[in-house]
Structure 1
Amino acid sequence: MPTTTRSATVLVVACAVVLLLPACRPTADPATASPPAGTPGATASAADTAPPAAPHATASLATEDAAPSPTATPSPAAGTSAPDVTPTPGPGVTTAPRTVTLPTPGARFEYQLGGADEPSEDTAVVVRDSTATPTGRYDVCYVNGFQTQPSQTERLLRAEPALVLHHAGEPVRDDGWPDEVLYDLTTPELRARVAERVGHVIDACGAAGFDAVEVDNLDSYTRSLGRITPADTLAYTALLVERAHAAGLAFAQKNTAELTTQVRALGADLVVAEECREWQECHVYTAAYPVVLDVEYDRAAFDAACAEQSSPATRAAGLSVVLRDRDVAPRGAPEAVHEAC
């Protein structure tokens, strides 16, 4: 949100009183930010026909309480700029907002969630876990925003069980990742509390020198047994977008093509997608966003995407594609696959 300045009249009087001071400048009062109102309901999810979710590569790595190692001087992000944002810092944000930037559309990237590697020389963008150190290129910080990290699940269930979605007295778990439970986003009060919890991780990403955050499990509402609605999801996402921008970070939508229009309208800046070529969704993202980073896990889908990107007739502006193994293992691992086109 833009800040407000004190009135010119008060400034003149103040300056006259402190005439002997070396300088007299207007100062800014922080604007009081209200939580974004809930966004109207979105289209129904395609959960019943959607493919099995790709592995959360950092499920065993990141923790909500672990901050990335700060770097001495965060490097400026290269590429195109998103609209400047100078919002009022949200709770927990203690530094002045930085300008939100985007990488160059179509830039080569690496998806390093399973372990940090030295990026290739021609790599411009690197996605790493929130506990990892940024590379000094354009760095995207992975945050599990809609479900708990496995290492935090039991502690949260003991300390703040109200933040976890329950059904028939039991926490609702991700069937694909049963050591992750869903956050309860069903009321404004719960959304604010969860956003504050996740917001600390976002703030740490900004303090460490990352340039953007990819917030995973936007599609958790499709696993909520109908308890969390698309409108709940979007109202909560609005809080995270605001928090990211206040920390000087671009916000990346993660998957969930069916909510693309609505999430983009909330102010999201780019996309990190998994298997959008495999499931014929890349065009949904590229129609809405200037930068789309796509991770394919199937060789045939990757080759098809590369063939399309090599032809001016079929090339999608802003799309970058990599092929990774499903464990997104570091290069030294025998099963590791790292390719780009």
Structure 2
Amino acid sequence: MRRRMSRTPLTVLAASTAALLTLGACSSATATEDRGAAPPDAAAGTEAASGTAEFWTPEPGTDWQWQLIGTVDTSVDVPVYDIDGFDNSAAVVSGLHEQGRKVICYISVGSFEDWRPDAGDFPEEVLGAPLDEWEGEQWLDIRALDVLEPLMAARFDMCAEKGFDAIEPDNMDAYINDSGFPLTKDDQLAYNRMIADLAHERGLSVGLKNGVDQVTELVDLFDFAVNEECAYYNECHKVAPFIEAGKAVFHVEYELTTDEFCPVTQPLNFSSMLKNWDLDAWRETC
């Protein structure tokens, strides 16, 4: 789930994005424009442009739905769903597949969550500072690869066994947060590379979640990106290498209106939508 970063937001209409504003405009959208349409074919328009990807690689502009709380609303007419891996059963995944959707498994890889069924498997020594505004969560010491690798492998096994197509690994930027550990960017890169390997070993695609300052080093290892608020922070250009590589950028904003962020992200061919902070079923697209 979205982590509020301890950094100062930049002006969305800064000079570095001003040129983009003339290239596109947000089309009218409502919270219910997706309802009642025929199921899409997820196999169409979601393979990498090169056609050489070993793993499912959604192409730029692929529409999506992201819902992490509540009963999954399966009526949204999009080819990709991103839902909580623990809270949803194999039957939910199978039902989405029957409608032609690809399904991404949301899993936190950088934080301990005290309500998860495997919480007792995490040793105290890898638990760090609490995550601001997220009760029951603590940062993990990502340097402890030997401890965390089997724990994350078990989580990814669960996703694979439920039939998910991909992983959305959350909290991949502990090193820029107050984690309670002296983490470096190199620590984070090593951990995130391990995460990509664990997913691919199980035949699952994997996305880079946020981590905009790691894109250059990791774009070749990840099959898509999931980004929150790049327009709000004026950093969408940092995620654009995924688009250049023929890989989707699944993007959301929370604080801006579609009129404010769509002219920035549409020219970049991001898969953008406005969501509530709690990531329920509501969405508004460009």
1:151 aligns with 2:115: yes
Structure-1 residue corresponding to 2:277: 326
Separation (CA, whole Å) in 2 of partners of 1:162 and 1:195? 15
Q: Structure 2 vs 1, CA of residues 258 and 106 (structure 1 numbering), >3 Å: closer, same or farther?
A: same
Q: Give 1:270's aligned residue.
A: 224
Are the structure 2 counterparts of residues 288 and 329 from structure 1 closer, same or farther at C-alpha, using a change threshold of 3 Å? closer
Q: Flag the 1:243–1:161 CA change in 2: closer, same or farther, 3 A.
A: same
Partner residue, 1:175: 132
Report what 2:173 is aligned to: 219
Q: Aligned residue for 1:141?
A: 105
1:82-231 → structure 2 map (5 Å cutoff)? 83-85=52-54, 100-115=55-70, 116-121=72-77, 123-131=78-86, 132=88, 133-134=92-93, 135-136=96-97, 137-152=101-116, 155-156=119-120, 160-165=123-128, 172-186=129-143, 190-221=144-175, 222-225=177-180, 227-231=182-186
Q: Which secondary structure does the structure 2 equivalent of 1:288 belong to?
A: helix
The one-letter code matched in structure 1 to 2:190 is A
Answer whether contact 1:77 1:101 (CA < 8 A) is retained.
no
- 1:260-299 correspondence runs (5 A): 260-265=215-220, 267-289=221-243, 290-299=247-256
Runs of 4+ in 1 over 6 A off after TM superposition: none
What's the CA shift for 1:130? Answer: 0.4
Distance 1:292 1:283 in 2: 11
CA RMSD of aligned residues (A): 2.5
Correspondence for 2:284: 339
Match of 1:80 among 44, 47, 61: 47
Give the conservation status (yes or no) of the 8 Å contact 1:273–1:295.
Answer: yes
- Paired AA for residue 200 in structure 1: A
Greater Cα radius of gyration, structure 1 or 2: 1
Return closer, same or farther for 1:77/1:139 CA change in 2, 3 Å cut-off: farther
Aligned residues: 234
CA contact (8 A) 1:153 1:181 kept: no
CA distance in 1, matches of 2:117, 2:232: 32
Q: 1:156: Cα distance to partner?
A: 3.7
Q: Secondary structure at the match of 1:287?
A: helix
Distance 1:155 1:207, change over 3 A: closer
Q: Distance in 2 between matches of 1:147 and 1:153?
A: 14
Q: Deviations over 1:273-327 (max 9, x none)?
A: 1111211222211223421010111242x223323456xxxx113x111111111
Which amino acid is 1:240 matched to? I
Q: Percent identity?
A: 26
Residues 108/142 of structure 1: CA separation in 2 closer, same or farther (3 Å cut): same
Describe the shift of the 1:150–1:293 C-alpha distance in structure 2 as closer, same or farther (beyond 3 A): same
Deviations 1:147-195 (A, max 9, x none): 01231499548x6213323xxxxxx221222421121223xxx212202
Q: Distance in 2 between matches of 1:83 and 1:241?
A: 18
Residues 54-92 of structure 1, C-alpha deviations (whole Å, 9 max, x = no match): xxxxxxxxxxxxxxxxxxxxx98542147554xxxxxxx
User: Structure 1 counterpart of 2:136, which letter?
Assistant: D
**What TM-score, normalized to structure 2?**
0.73
Alpha-carbon distance in structure 1 between the residues aligned to 2:160 and 2:43: 12
How far apart, CA to CA, are the structure 1 residues paired with 2:218 and 2:141? Answer: 19
State the SS of the aligned residue for 1:272.
Answer: strand
Q: Residue 164 of structure 2 aligns to which amino acid in structure 1?
A: F
Give CA deviations for 1:230-276 in whole Å, capped at 9, x if unaligned: 111111111110010011111111112112112224x1121111111
Deviation at 1:113, TM superposition (A): 1.1
Segments of 5+ residues of structure 1 without an aligned counterpart are 1-46, 52-74, 86-99, 166-171, 331-336
Q: Quote the Cα distance in structure 1 between the aligned partners of 2:117 and 2:141.
A: 13
Higher relative contact order (CA 8 A, sep 6+): 2
Is 2:231–2:264's contact at 8 Å kept on the other side of the alignment? Answer: no
AA aligned to 1:327 is D
